Structure 1
Amino acid sequence: MTRLIKACLAASLALLGSAALADDRGAFERAIKQDNESAVRSLLARGFDPNTRNDKGSPGLYVALQEGSLKVARMLIDSPRLKPEDRNATDESPLMMAALKGELDLAKRLIAKGADVNKPGWAPLHYAATGGHLDLIRLLLEEHAFIDAQSPNGTTPLMMAASYGTPEAVKLLIEEGADIAMRNQQRMTAMDFARRAERRDAVDLLTQAERYKAQSRPQAPRGTW
């Protein structure tokens, strides 16, 4: 009988613990959406895991950045227990979302905490280029981001800038040495991306870069062909 009582007691405690965890998780998700800094501080003080994911598999920091809940995002980044490279279900990192949103200060904090600038596959530089955020592009390049990083289908940051970013982002990447001739798995160059998106400004910049590259190419001496 004693064993049965102990087993029932253990099961009851486990259920209570699960219910409390579910309640805290719900409170955490609400606090993120409301950018409620004090609520998150209270949860963390009670030992709540700052890396807790929502039902879609996204960690709290990623969701906070996605929602624009910047007070909560700063608090989570400052938590000693944060895992800065925890990613969502589609392998996106918090640094990638900060880059897409143009959050320079938070991106700096994440990098200082060990976020991966050169994450394999889609990388933070792809996202900064997509958003056209020049300061983020410069920061990532200063932190040794590979300028011609290739996504799983071979798409580069320059291609993303040419299709979705700004002319200034295209110009900056070209000036920093992005390879305008690279092709993705569909054999598309940055010029192809710009034309498909009907981005006349990007087409003009890439045309100028192609002309400059052709003019700069060493000419073979006469009589050698």
Structure 2
Amino acid sequence: MSSATLYAAARSGHADVVRVLLEAGAEVERGDYDGTTPLMVAAESGSMETVEVLVGAGADVNRWIGGGNPLSNAALGGHRAVYEFLAPLTDDDSFSVLMRTAYHGHLDCVRYLLEIGAVRDKSIFLMGTALDYAHRGKREGHYRGQPYDEVIRVLEEAGVPAQLDWSDEPG
């Protein structure tokens, strides 16, 4: 059974195909060339039904590959419902997810993480806090069109400090 077929079906959100492939013996944890699993791509693409099928089949919700896991992938994709489903099932702390979500400019997920009590004042040595990551995402411009000014405002209002000086950033 080709793992590529399961991976492609999971990425595309075809829960019915994922279900059939798993019943036919596809390995739920078999990843692509770098180890990224079907659950990780389903979470990132936001297919709740596919995520539920994979979790029900025993997919590892805590598996980390390349600095991410299914929970952080859901947040990075801006898929709050998938995040809410996975969060109680994982061992992940909300801090790393808040930083990554702020960097990508996903306002709804940033608000949700703050609502559920994400760690606000933690920082990574010389890299900064979630607020610094939002400023960095805005400055680097990889995710154009994201509401970075609003993300920054929400983080500031929530009391997230900046470790770095962003005073020269254009308004």
Q: Do both proteins adopt the same fold according to a TM-score greater than 0.5, normalized to the shorter chain?
A: yes
SS in 2 for 1:136: helix
Q: 1:72 aligns with which of 10, 13, 17?
A: 17
Report the alpha carbon displacement of residue 143 of structure 1 after superposing the two structures with TM: 1.7
Q: Does 1:138 align with 2:84?
A: yes
Q: Distance in 1 between matches of 2:131 and 2:155?
A: 6
Deviation at 1:126, TM superposition (A): 1.1
Identity %: 30
The equivalent residue for 1:88 is: 32
2: CA distance, partners of 1:112 / 1:101: 18
1:197 is aligned, of 117, 137, 142, to 137
Amino acid at match of 1:147: D
Structure 1 segments, 4+ long, off by >6 Å, are: none
Task: Specify whether residues 66 and 109 from structure 1 end up closer, same or farther in structure 2 by C-alpha distance, changes over 3 A only.
Answer: closer
Residue 67 and residue 109 in structure 1: after superposition, are their counterparts in 2 closer, same or farther (change >3 A)?
A: closer
- Give me the whole-angstrom Cα distance separating, in 1, the residues matched to 2:21 and 2:120: 39
Distance 1:191 1:126, change over 3 A: same
Query: Bigger relative contact order, structure 1 or 2, given CA contacts below 8 A and separation 6+?
Result: 2
Structure-2 residue corresponding to 1:164 = 104
Does 2:64 align with 1:124? no
Match of 1:35 in 2: none
Q: Is this contact kept in 2: 1:141–1:147, CA < 8 A?
A: no
CA shift, 1:182, in A, is 3.0
Q: Which moves more between the two structures, 106-115 or 164-173?
A: 164-173
Question: 1:87 corresponds to which letter in structure 2?
Answer: G
Under a length normalisation based on structure 2, what TM-score does the superposition of the two structures give? 0.76
Q: Which runs of 5+ in 2 are unaligned?
A: 139-147, 161-171
Instruction: Compute the RMSD of aligned alpha carbons.
Output: 2.3
2:12 matched to 1:63?
A: no
- Aligned residue-pair number: 150
Deviation at 1:206, TM superposition (A): 1.0
CA distance in 2 between partners of 1:125 and 1:105 (Å): 15
**2:118 partner amino acid:** A
- 1:23-38 equivalence runs, <5 A: none
**1:178 correspondence with 2:141:** no
CA contact 2:74–2:83 (8 Å) conserved in 1: yes
1:99-152, Cα deviation, whole Å (9 max, x unpaired) = 111000110111111111111341111110111111011001122342337xxx
Q: Say which SS state the counterpart of residue 83 (structure 1) adopts.
A: coil
AA aligned to 1:143 is L
Q: Distance in 1 between matches of 2:13 and 2:59?
A: 19
| Mapped partners of 2:34, 2:125: distance in 1 | 20
Structure-2 change in CA distance of 1:137 and 1:145 (3 Å): farther
Counterpart for residue 51 of structure 2: 107
Structure ranking higher in helix proportion: 1
Q: Which runs of 5+ in 1 are unaligned?
A: 1-48, 54-58, 150-155, 212-225
Structure of higher CA gyration radius? 1
Summarize the Cα distance change of 1:90–1:184 in structure 2 as closer, same or farther, 3 Å threshold: farther
Counterpart secondary structure, 2:32: coil
* Cα separation, 1, equivalents of 2:152 and 2:47: 28
Change in 2 beyond 3 A, CA 1:76/1:165? farther
